[in-house]
Structure 1
Amino acid sequence: MASILMVASEALPFIKTGGLADVVGSLPQALSQKGHEVKVVIPLYRKIWEKYQSELYFDCEYSVSINYHEVPVRLYSKMEGDVCYFFIQHQGYFERDTLYGYDDDGERFAYFQKAVIEMLNQLNYWPNIIHCHDWQTGMIPCMVKETHDSDPRYNAIRFVYTIHNLLFQGNFGPEMLDSCLGLPYYLMENGNVKFDGGISFMKSGILYADKVTTVSPTYSQEILTPQYGEHLEAVLNMRKYDLWGIVNGIDTKSWNPKTDPLIEYNYDKINVRVQKVKNKLALQKELGLTQDEDVMLVGCVSRLTWQKGFYLLMEQLDALCAAPIQLVILGTGEAPIENKFRDLENGNKGKIVFYNGYNEEIAHRVYAASDLFLMPSLFEPCGISQLISLRYGTLPLVRETGGLKDTVDAYNEYEKSGNGFSFEKYDSNDLINVLYYACDVYYNRKDDWQMLQTNAMNTDVSWENSANTYSLLYNELMNQ
């Protein structure tokens, strides 16, 4: 069994902006149950400090060099289940209103990565594997291999690098190479870290890690093409024999309709149909929709961005309003999409609700109450929402891309199979056609709908299979 250090910029239950936090919250626990020793390290953000300050153990203080100055690092830790979480504290860099989006993001996460590398020395802790996640950790394999190559303790470590979303790459000016990362300029000249005139944390992670993974088998193939490769497809093709696609799971304890404390009526596969109707009526009342147990309720919990396919909906608003459905959209994002959904609600009171923002309790109730879950993404490395909707017996309607293609099996009316609905092309007509097709099944083929619902709830969305695959990957690395 392996000793593994996971390095990431966020993790549940401490802090979250996206699916990365779900993975780094759940996967370590699943691996721990397989017998691995897993530790995690993330930055100590303001919200974590405010909530957990009294529970954090102070481990040590040291320093790293940033901009030719020694900058202090304070290290804290906390046990969560079987996993030890470390926190890198620097008030100036991390105790801010949000996690990302600052002009000095490159410097902030260079500091974080340097602090992680030196943490090993300070604690005399030498894992078999360092598993890095996304651009914020992409320079760690490079820095260890280029600047600690004479130290056998560091040389023995193997590196896994996971791409959660290739769109966000951590691209910065070349001046950071020496000042913040302490790396020689020949790495620019030989192309190892060079990207678009600057440096790329993501590219460096892909090139220097021993194995590269991404969060679904289909996405691992899509990113080898110009359509999805975000200008890194040539680099990824260089590593394609070391590239694994491993689909994410979800925390099936937190997301369990049988025990979920945030929904009004708990249910399982046996009583889903009776209890779902009760949840639907309760949500309709709570959000101001017309109370109707028979209408098909379509839910959507998402960031409202172009990536998530919302411009397809924008093209079909008349058809959407004419459909025999009610629609609940919960999320925040791009202003044009938010404004359009506000207008849509104002013109369709009782039929369409737009909840602008994120509310964890209402999100749970949307999953529990809805009949259909809408996810028409342009691209989707894995996706979490369709896994939750399957768990709650809410049939996902998705575009066949990335993890959506790998986890949603489209309804086949002849074979009587499937656990949801899907369409292939990124085309608004195809989206509306499959939505109307789902309506037809819901209203006119009740037995088939119930079969799909049962299949959805029987789908294994846990981390079990994925943790087994990661174990194979770690064992392969350790035996090299």
Structure 2
Amino acid sequence: MKPAISVLFVSFEAAPFAKVGGLADVAGSLPRALRRAGADVRLVIPDFQDIAVEGFEFENVPIPSDWTVGIDFRPYSFRVRETRFPDGTPVWLVGGDDFFARPGIYNAPGGEPFGDELERIVFFNKAVVEVMKCLEVDVDIVHLNDYQTALIAAYMRRLYGNEERLARPALCHSIHNLAYQGVWPAERIQTMGFPPEDARYPSPFEWQGMINLMKTGIELADMVNTVSPRYAMEIQTKEFGAGLEDLLRGVSGKLRGILNGIDTEAWNPATDSHLKYHYDTGKLSGKRGCKAALLKEAGISLDRLDLPVIGMVGRLVQQKGIDLILEIGDALLATDVNLVALGSGAKEIEDGLRGLCARHPDRAGVKIGFDEGLAHRITAGADIFLMPSRYEPCGLNQMYAQRYGTIPVVHEVGGLADTVTEWDPSTKAGTGFLFRDAEAGALSDALGRALLAFQDKRAWTELVKNAMAVDFSWERSAKGYLEFYAEAIERHRGGKSA
């Protein structure tokens, strides 16, 4: 029986092979969820030197030696390796030593951007199109993610629009974070393989006299989505549109918001291998055990076990609102609370958190860096989870927290607003606490409501169970994407692109 729909899902990162941010979690989970829903899906990612290979077997896919990718009049060879997820979902890794035989995914070790970033993107995008031609890939949908894959849309629509195999698929473009758009000087259009006039208005490449790959993908795609309904509305405003708000309002007819899901197998408090104790809504005692273990790991006395533990996990950058926490940190820790934090990012914020914990060593601990196990243990052992992000396209940690019965306190933006509902003590409805203004006082007020609710143990238990009952599975998201794909096919066949 033929699958209902076939999809080539293209991303610059995907867990567990290569991961930098939330896109990797999406690309590593959504294709498998779509397959479970009946779609025929293949994931395509770059074959980086740093690809995680443990637990996977790879086979070389034969490519004729005369098939190359041309960049600035020079040919580059490419290769394809294939592996599969345990459920059978196929993965192609497209590589070339000239661009990927080095450490790093987006940046070199130490955070410096690659000097040939554009060439790496052009190589991967062109190679994917050549693979589609060479291996006679015939699909209904080509799903692109962020600016690093947007040139595929340009090659398929503007260079190969007369080739049936490349003209037939509908194009979908997902915006995971609009702040990163892939902007280059206009003269780089030729490196991308297009003539100079394509860098001028009203070309889909042109943006304020430069080339903008995110804009290119948005304009040429049949359908566009962001990773939460609220963020899809926000990016049409000046505050969140990052300079593309006029364009996004203009294409609002093809713009959708589909909430990300989470891996409910990896993130399950009943079976999590990172935890010493396990629990579910029927037996919550293991959560107290996780709390005690977390305090011990953070160097905080178990005499403080009955006091609320506030947890934080994430990048320590201004976008995440960590400066608001630092602003209220001393006053907060002067009360009967504990704080455990994990993350890395801007040095001034790292130093601020270190200083805060040094001033309150009996009730606060921070680890600078990333530790997957500790991230799980904070999520399980904390009572309250802080996410005061200034903007958040979707966010995953607030969903992990709710699945683990750890109550989120979040800024009412993007995916945070879509996934957390305010606790109402009179009706016992809600899953967390929200604040509207990105100000320290507003965060403090929301935390105050959470800490007050914590004092009523019976009501708090109901709140915990509410949070744990919310369905954040990828199955729900996959259903939304299948509807999105169907709409893209209909628009493509009808000749619409805006």
- What TM bracket, shorter-length normalisation? over 0.9
**Aligned pair partner of 1:67 in 61, 66, 72:** 72
SS in 1 for 2:81: strand
Aligned to 1:205: 217
Q: Is the 8 A contact 2:310 2:339 kept in 1?
A: yes
Q: Which runs of 5+ in 1 are unaligned?
A: none
Rounded Cα–Cα distance in structure 1 between residues aligned with 2:361 and 2:439:
28
Rounded Cα–Cα distance in structure 2 between residues aligned with 1:322 and 1:293:
17
Identity, % of aligned positions: 37
| 1:310 aligned onto 2:322 | yes
TM-score by length of 2: 0.93
Deviation at 1:414, TM superposition (A): 2.3
Q: Is the 8 A contact 2:136 2:165 kept in 1?
A: no
Q: Is the 8 A contact 2:68 2:77 kept in 1?
A: yes
| 1:372 aligned onto 2:403 | no
Q: Is the 8 A contact 2:18 2:105 kept in 1?
A: no
Equivalent runs, 1:117-266 vs 2, <5 Å: 117-179=129-191, 181-191=192-202, 192-266=204-278
| 1:470 aligned onto 2:470 | no
**Aligned pair partner of 1:35 in 38, 43, 46:** 38
Deviation at 1:2, TM superposition (A): 0.9
SS in 2 for 1:48: coil
The root-mean-square deviation of aligned C-alpha atoms, in Å, is: 1.3
Rounded Cα–Cα distance in structure 2 between residues aligned with 1:56 and 1:133:
24
Deviations 1:416-440 (A, max 9, x none): 2101111111111010111122111
Deviation at 1:235, TM superposition (A): 1.1
Deviation at 1:175, TM superposition (A): 2.5
Question: Residue type of the partner of 2:79?
Answer: R
Rounded Cα–Cα distance in structure 2 between residues aligned with 1:418 and 1:406:
12
| 1:392 aligned onto 2:404 | yes
Aligned to 2:109: none
Deviation at 1:115, TM superposition (A): 0.5
Q: Is the 8 A contact 1:57 1:76 kept in 2?
A: yes
SS in 2 for 1:414: coil
Rounded Cα–Cα distance in structure 2 between residues aligned with 1:188 and 1:45:
30
Deviation at 1:348, TM superposition (A): 1.1
Q: Is the 8 A contact 1:8 1:132 kept in 2?
A: yes
**Aligned pair partner of 1:457 in 444, 468, 484:** 468
Deviates more, 1:397-406 or 1:91-100: 91-100
Q: Which runs of 5+ in 2 are unaligned?
A: 107-112, 494-498
Rounded Cα–Cα distance in structure 1 between residues aligned with 2:375 and 2:98:
33
Q: Is the 8 A contact 2:431 2:464 kept in 1?
A: yes
SS in 2 for 1:282: helix
Aligned to 1:279: 290
Rounded Cα–Cα distance in structure 2 between residues aligned with 1:350 and 1:117:
57
Deviations 1:42-65 (A, max 9, x none): 11112216x359821100343100
Deviation at 1:381, TM superposition (A): 0.2
SS in 2 for 1:316: helix
Rounded Cα–Cα distance in structure 2 between residues aligned with 1:277 and 1:53:
34
SS in 1 for 2:51: helix
Question: Residue type of the partner of 2:91?
Answer: Y
Rounded Cα–Cα distance in structure 1 between residues aligned with 2:463 and 2:103:
43
Q: Is the 8 A contact 2:37 2:475 kept in 1?
A: no
Question: Residue type of the partner of 2:58?
Answer: L
Q: Is the 8 A contact 1:319 1:432 kept in 2?
A: no
Deviation at 1:451, TM superposition (A): 1.0
Question: Residue type of the partner of 1:86?
Answer: W
Deviations 1:388-446 (A, max 9, x none): 00111111110100000000001112222101111111111010111122111112x11
Rounded Cα–Cα distance in structure 1 between residues aligned with 2:185 and 2:156:
21
SS in 1 for 2:50: helix
Aligned to 2:356: 344
Deviation at 1:345, TM superposition (A): 1.4
How many residue pairs end up in the alignment? Answer: 476
Deviates more, 1:333-342 or 1:85-94: 85-94
Rounded Cα–Cα distance in structure 1 between residues aligned with 2:210 and 2:62:
35
Q: Is the 8 A contact 1:143 1:183 kept in 2?
A: no
| 1:4 aligned onto 2:7 | yes
Deviates more, 1:57-66 or 1:458-467: 57-66
Q: Is the 8 A contact 1:395 1:419 kept in 2?
A: yes
Question: Residue type of the partner of 2:481?
Answer: Y
Aligned to 2:104: 98
